[in-house]
Chains A and B, each alone.
Chain A
Amino acid sequence: MRFRLSYFVIVSSILLFAYFYSQNSIVTSSVVFTAIPFALPLALAAMVGVMCERTGIVNIGIEGTMLVSAFTAFFLGAILKNISAGLFIGIMTGVLVGLLLSVMTITWKMDQIIAGVIINIMAAGITSFLYRQNYRIPSTFLPIDIPVIGDIPVIGPIVSNHGPITYFGIIFIFGLWVALYKTPWGLRSRSVGEHPSSADTAGVSVVRLRYINVTIAGAVGGLAGSYLALEAVGIFERGFTAGKGFTALAIMIFGRWNPLGAFAAALFFGLSQAVTNQLMIDEVVQIPQQFVTMLPYVLTILILAISAGKVRPPAAEGIPYEKEKV
């Protein structure tokens, strides 16, 4: 059933693309090309959610993780005049936030939603409090023109010319999918998220695995934040994550806690942003602009309402694991 759904989505996407491409190849490529930068921060942020929730930890602190990582990535990148160092520091900041979330939710067994809210408020406050002007990074991570692939007709212009974090991010998403479904780590992680005592009784340390995964997820959140600061725009501003971490939660659920599903959902979002823009560019619509901007949100609700079915989240999510209560 799920497989057929994904096939259906893939096939109809290709058909739609082919149709529009035959109508106007430049605009169509451009819209799909632009969907990627719109989608990438959402997709990476959604991976944070997927990784945490698959091991049973609800993470609504993604927004805060991105914000504070973007902050350190940018300012240390600027101070050290080295964006690679900034990227490293941004990721390490994410790791620290992941560890903080781990301590709160795994060791202290705090309510996971509260823990996420704390991270969000704290991140917004501290980055705004410490913000200073007149810092510049030497340059951003620049788009890469991929030699052979870039020359392939139709596909080349879409997949080439993105920045290195974008490529790494997409590879990571596919890698995460493989790891989650094909490796011992993935099987154990999913078990811990579904039924932690089963994993525990099989000799898998629930606490350790959750720590590892939430921390790695933090690093991914750091990557998403660094992407915004160092690749997408090259500046840091207060609150400039603009709610992407929350939209990512919806994307994660939309994608059914599956890395590729979430990536597809993020692409759908990115695509609807790009299409929205294109509608304004082509002035095909005379309806008020607010209605155009509502479009992706309305579409998402409609699609979910129609295709719905009950999405089933990892069963142990949100519940602290009490080892002795097996």
Chain B
Amino acid sequence: MTNLLEVENLSKRFGSVQANHEISLTVKPGEIVALLGENGAGKSTLVKAVIGLVKPDSGVIRVKGEELPYGDTAEAIARGIGMVHQHFQLVPVMSVTENLVLGDEPTKFGFIQMQKAKRETAELSKRYGLAIDPDAIIEDLPVGMAQRVEILKALRRDVSLLILDEPTAVLTPQETDELLEVLRNLAKKGVGILFITHKLREVMALADRVVVLRNGKLAGSTTPKESSESQLAQLMVGREVVLHVEKGPGNPTGAALEVRELEVLDDRKLEAVKGLSLQVNAGEILGIAGVEGNGQRELVEAICGMRNRRKGTVRIAGKEVPNLKPHEVHAAGVSHIPEDRERHGLVASYSIADNLVLNRFDQEPFAKGWIRNLDAVASNGEELVERYDIRTPSASAPASSLSGGNKQKTVVARELSQDLPVVVASQPTRGVDVGSIEFIHKQLISARDRGAAVLLVSAELDEILSLSDRVAVLYGGKIVATFDSKFANRDEIGRLMAGSQGAHS
């Protein structure tokens, strides 16, 4: 059978970075190929070259045996390539339907036939079992829904090759399973699938073949049958990786963070957190499991001062704190690794060193009164870059030059280096490669071990289960169950997350 996609000796350089070096790759019809690699290995660059978003420096791309011109997205789409991008490619202020038809609108006399487009959208969503409201505005949708739109957008144009760049990073386990099912069905119909992910479990479950990139070069190719998760990880990172989280038993002392009867509204003024209470003890990690959109974000934001509470109290180290601003909560003893690092965590054009003091720039020793102490900022930067293994030539380089994983490490370094009594970590490893995940996990555990109370919110059930001492399941803005993680059962938690009643332990 001829190859659907053939990439031959593709190279691409960005300034001093050789993102892709002589990479070759094939995808056959009906085949599911997983593309693995650390952050910055060049996965996205490779697939963007295929869809025409990046112009390669050299190499050949063939689709169904015919050469594809460089950098022509419209042509690539016309030849049957669809892509779900790593970052949402949806226009936030527009409706689902508008986003779906963009670039290929049904028209009559030059006008868009919106009604027809909406019907198509509804049909499409039914055909693939991805339920979606055609009239919903993207920015009102939870990320999981938005991801559905992304996928439908790629499927809408009768694809023969579907590329997905980390599509599951923002999905819940259930949603992930649904997606994998959709992909399997597509493959059965002969669609070739090129799939990028950091989650080895998915690779093992789905892929026919695995291609691993490292530092822009092909590091190897294998199949899930021939290799184990840890072998894959080693191929990616070039060294042995501890996938399994090693942690000693917790040593919980008194409550460090107490939340009572908390009520919080979301951006649409609907009640998102409904009378929630929880307690995190010093020296313990409490993981919040839950399908995204059940109030996690509002809970974290209400604790960290990013959102006003309507009702309820929050106590930190026994002291009640009123509705505060983020930096005041920080001053009261809470470190916060925010969910959206690009938006809240970092100032991209600032140096790494400045970012590392972003919430302390006006405090000793980084400022004396009104005057900043730039030497102290610089030496703090160098020290943390070293200590937290932030991969950069210099602490004075702009944060924008960092890869995703290293950006996250920068935020982690800033927050955890301060040894505050409470740590709130929201999606701390989203989109981060296995090496960095390992590192961040270690940091969270060592924070616990020094006696901090850690509240961990993550869409990764595995992450929750392996890191937490206790697991609380959040559903509909309330904690529906709490388990000791030793006794936690993946399936039961999954059922609770989906809203069915279960036994309390």
Contacts and interface: CB of A to CB of B under 8 A. Distances in A.
Q: Do chains A and B touch in the complex (CB under 8 A)?
A: yes
Interface in A198-225: 198-205
B110 interface: yes
Given A183-B112, A184-B107, A326-B85, A201 B51 contact: yes
A159 B90 CA distance: 43
A195 interface: yes
A194 B110 contact: no
A198 B90 contact: yes
A251 B74 CA distance: 36
Contact of A315 (B73, B74, B93, B110): B93
A183 B77 contact: no
Contacts of B76: 203
B92 A201 contact: no
B91 A195 contact: yes
A187 B94 CA distance: 9
A326 B112 contact: no
B332 interface: no
A276 B94 CA distance: 41
Contact of B102 (A202, A323, A324): A202
Interface in B46-94: 48, 51, 53-55, 71, 73-74, 76-78, 83, 85, 87-94
Nearest to B78: A203
Interface centre among A182, A198, A199 (most CB of B within 10 A): A198
Interface in B80-119: 83, 85, 87-94, 98-99, 101-105, 107, 110-112
B28 interface: no
B92 A199 contact: no
Given A183-B110, A202-B104, 20 more contacts: A182-B111, A183-B107, A184-B105, A187-B98, A187-B101, A188-B103, A190-B94, A191-B91, A194-B93, A197-B87, A198-B88, A199-B102, A199-B103, A202-B73, A203-B74, A205-B74, A312-B93, A315-B92, A323-B53, A326-B48
Interface size class of A (residues with CB under 8 A): 20 to 34
Interface in A47-75: none
Nearest to B84: A201
Contact of B112 (A182, A191, A324): A182
A224 B90 CA distance: 35
Interface in A158-204: 182-184, 187-188, 190-191, 194-195, 197-204
B214 interface: no
Contacts of A187: 94, 98, 101-102, 105, 112
B53 A326 contact: yes
A303 B16 CA distance: 53
Contact of A188 (B102, B107, B110, B153): B102
A-side interface mostly: helix
11 contacts: A187-B98, A187-B102, A191-B102, A194-B92, A197-B87, A197-B89, A198-B88, A198-B91, A323-B53, A324-B48, A326-B89
Interface of A: 182-184, 187-188, 190-191, 194-195, 197-205, 312, 315, 323-324, 326
A204 B98 CA distance: 14
Interface in B280-323: none
Contacts of A323: 53-54, 71
A324 B51 CA distance: 12
B370 interface: no
Given A201-B73, A203-B74, A204-B103, A326 B91 contact: no
Contacts of B112: 182-184, 187
B93 A200 contact: no
B93 A198 contact: no
A202 B103 contact: yes
Nearest to B52: A203
Most buried by A among B53, B73, B91: B91
B94 A183 contact: no
Interface string B136-160: 0000000000000000010000000
8 interchain residue pairs of minimum CB distance: A202-B103, A203-B74, A184-B105, A201-B89, A198-B89, A195-B91, A203-B77, A203-B103
B89 A202 contact: yes
Contacts of B90: 195, 198
Interface string B249-264: 0000000000000000
A197 B99 CA distance: 12
A315 B112 CA distance: 23
A203 B104 contact: yes
Contacts of A182: 111-112
Contacts of A315: 92-93
A287 to B, nearest CB: 44
B487 interface: no
A323 B74 CA distance: 14
Contacts of B54: 323-324
Nearest to B14: A324
A55 B73 CA distance: 19
A95 B79 CA distance: 35
A152 B197 CA distance: 69
Contacts of A198: 88-91, 99, 102
Interface centre among A195, A199, A201 (most CB of B within 10 A): A201
Contacts of B111: 182-183
A78 to B, nearest CB: 39
B70 to A, nearest CB: 12
Given A194-B94, A195-B91, A326-B53, A201 B110 contact: no
A179 to B, nearest CB: 9
A312 B137 CA distance: 15
Nearest to A316: B91
B128 to A, nearest CB: 19
A184 B102 CA distance: 8
Which of B85, B92, B101, B112 counts the most chain A CB atoms within 10 A?
Answer: B112
